[in-house]
Amino acid sequence: MPKVAIVMGSDSDFPVVKGAIQTLRRFGVDVEVRVISAHRTPWRAAEFAEGAAAAGTEVIIAAAGKAAHLAGVLAAHTALPVIGLPVKSSTLDGLDSLLSTVQMPDGVPVATVAINGAANAALLAVQMLSLRYGGLYDKLLDYKREMASGVMDKDAALQEEVAKI
């Protein structure tokens, strides 16, 4: 079974992370969720990242706010794909988190999604996993068809409302 680890810098990030957990579970992906701080427990971040592949993890999502260095620290200690999920903090509306996550030096790539973009972080992880697990690719195609159908339904409902004006 495919496995994704979601690591949060703080438990205050959990309300955002829930969306990623729900999305991953929708696709049948096993999820491990941890709180590990890049700044307060850097040794744990290094240990976790270094042992993640041996523990069966195939993709890591790192959610952090403010000085969001978690994704970069994890990426520095593993060859697994790391997806940064910048979390909106009380300052700078999450722009600080976004820039801290996306501005990585050469050799330490971190794929980064939008501020609070938990569902997209999960979907990107599923897309990565679909390269190995073909059934996930089919589930992704079904998901996209469902989204398209929803938009078309909304458009049809709107057209009915517009016709009444």
CATH architecture of 3-132: 3-Layer(aba) Sandwich (3.40)
| CA nearest neighbour of 48 among 5, 100, 112 | 5
Q: What is the pLDDT of residue 89?
A: 85
CA distance 135 to 125: 14
Tens of pLDDT, residue by residue, the chain (165 residues): 999 999 999 999 999 999 999 999 999 999 999 999 999 999 999 999 999 999 999 999 999 999 899 999 999 999 999 999 999 987 789 999 999 999 999 999 999 999 999 999 999 999 999 999 999 999 999 999 999 999 999 999 999 999 999
> 65: which strand partners?
87
Q: What is the pLDDT of residue 22?
A: 98
Where do the structural domains in the chain lie, given as residue ranges? 3-132
Q: What is the pLDDT of residue 91?
A: 77
Does the reported pTM lie above 0.85?
Answer: yes
CA distance 1 to 91: 39
Supply 127's token pair: 């897309």
